[in-house]
Copies of this chain bind each other. A is one copy, B any other.
Amino acid sequence: MAASPLLDDLRAALGPEAVLTDPDLLRGYERDEADLCAAGTPLVVTRPRRTEEVAAVVRAAGRYGVPVVPQGARTGLAGAANAVDGAVVLSTVAMDAILEIDPVSRIAVVQPGVVNAALSAAVAEQGLWYPPDPGSWESSTIGGNVATNAGGMCCVKYGVTTEYVLGLEVVLASGEVLRTGRRTAKGVAGYDLTRLFVGSEGTLGVITEVTVALRPAPAASLTLVAVFGSTAAAGEAVARIAAQGLSPSLLELLDRTHLTAIEAYRPMGLRTDAEALLLAAADTGPRAAEDLTELAAVCTAAGAEEVYAATDAVEAAALLQARRLAHPAMEKYATDTYPGGNGGLIIDDLAVPRGALAALLDGVARIAAECSVPIGVVGHAGDGNLHPNIVVDRADPASLERGRRAFDEIMRLGLDLGGTCTGEHGVGLLKRDWLAREIGPVGVRVHQAIKSALDPAGLLNPGKVL
């Protein structure tokens, strides 16, 4: 059992079972799922169960000037949860209680370690719905979702995580416990500290409780598929859907690379000869059939070669499942592309104004050709948020270099098109330089001023975001 005054303090506060120092165990807490990001070896992993224990960890680390890296389920894709050498990792996964569900106020109060799917299931039992549905929803935690302001497929109609966070309890760098926000449906009292902490990736405080807004369960949705002969035509269809005032509850794009990868991963009769496929859904109850007809008409007018509606809920679920398989299927595609076992993905994430989607898709194809690197594109086309997935051979420096170049070119193109360097994955380590470029020197100074105001010693998740 490793000894140090800090470890003694942590064991005294949490009990030895919640303080891990075994090197084999520590290795499991080094990084999230992001590629291209550095990760260090923590001194210790703590697993507090209560707010006071989180505060004790933060205060103890502060006494010894040791950084604190908060972690949820480490499903992040930007390195925000990566450990730094010698840090105290603060894992919130043991804080997994759903404290309250109130159907009249339409709120739930949860500890940060509650898994998104667990909350969704619990509120569904009461006819309620927690919309944010990141790809990781079956394993990621609400605390992590809030810290990264996670997105998902619902966002095109229902917005990202921050739209559903009413209030927070946060342990500050000082060890003080701050409560932000409210339990009421409406309220404008003071600065919006809640949303300042949402998406701040553990750099301003450690979230210990979350009050989320819920919605009534939506009506069953109807789903359609539109098949396009070019990605740009699919992008154009998205722009026209918005211009016509339609509000699909889902509007996803899969390009040919992804269709091929998914079909190889789990054959389900996808049109792998198509250049792009749009999946759209309408959840407007008695209006849904009419909305679906309008969506189909717009897709056809924008050049879709084929448009068909899912015949029933089973087929609709299968189509959604295909979309959900994009990530593991592309991982396999990368492995198959580079048979040495070192094939991998650089998963990118950016958003552009809807009107620029076609230009972005064309540009990504051009960059893939110029950099001689395979890039598949999948994403939440309806809100202009795409994930270009760059396929590299991790064992080949030249391949990695081409992948990095493509990544940078895509980021540059996105900003040139009036976009943002991250639509939903966050900044972490992966996008720090691009964030600085996006927000400019004044924006960086304001970020630093706020960080210094709340964490003067710079011990909370150092090196992330800024």
- A residues contacting B by CB (< 8 A) are 102-107, 127-128, 148-149, 151, 155-156, 160, 162-163, 172, 176-180, 182-193, 195-196, 198-200, 204, 215-217, 239, 242-243, 245-247, 284-287, 290, 351-355, 380, 382-385, 418-427, 431, 435, 438-440, 442-443, 445-447, 449-450, 452-454, 465
- In the complex, the answer to whether B105 meets A465 with C-beta atoms within 8 Å is no
- In the complex, the answer to whether A188 meets B151 with C-beta atoms within 8 Å is yes
Task: Report the Cα distance A431→B189, complex, angstroms.
Answer: 9
- In the complex, the answer to whether A216 meets B435 with C-beta atoms within 8 Å is no
Q: How far is the CB of A196 from chain B (nearest CB, A)?
A: 5
Q: Copies of this chain, how many?
A: 2
Chain B residue contacts of A216, Cβ below 8 A: 245-247
Task: Report the Cα distance A445→B452, complex, angstroms.
Answer: 14
In the complex, which of the residues B155, B290, B453 contacts A449, with contact meaning CB atoms closer than 8 Å?
A: B453
In the complex, which of the residues B196, B290, B435 contacts A195, with contact meaning CB atoms closer than 8 Å?
A: B196
- In the complex, the answer to whether A190 meets B439 with C-beta atoms within 8 Å is yes
- In the complex, the answer to whether A447 meets B191 with C-beta atoms within 8 Å is yes
In the complex, which of the residues B243, B286, B450 contacts A104, with contact meaning CB atoms closer than 8 Å?
A: B243
Chain B residue contacts of A188, Cβ below 8 A: 148-149, 151, 160, 199, 420, 422-426
Task: Report the Cα distance A136→B177, complex, angstroms.
Answer: 38
The 6 closest A-B pairs by CB, nearest first: A216-B245, A187-B420, A185-B383, A453-B453, A104-B355, A449-B453
Task: Report the Cα distance A199→B193, complex, angstroms.
Answer: 11
Chain B residue contacts of A382, Cβ below 8 A: 185
Task: Report the Cα distance A191→B151, complex, angstroms.
Answer: 16
Chain B residue contacts of A442, Cβ below 8 A: 172, 176-179
- In the complex, the answer to whether B443 meets A184 with C-beta atoms within 8 Å is no
In the complex, which of the residues B127, B204, B353 contacts A245, with contact meaning CB atoms closer than 8 Å?
A: B127
Chain B residue contacts of A438, Cβ below 8 A: 189-190
In the complex, which of the residues B172, B247, B446 contacts A178, with contact meaning CB atoms closer than 8 Å?
A: B446
- In the complex, the answer to whether A353 meets B247 with C-beta atoms within 8 Å is no
Given A106-B242, A183-B418, A196-B196: A454 and B447 interface contact (C-beta under 8 Å): no
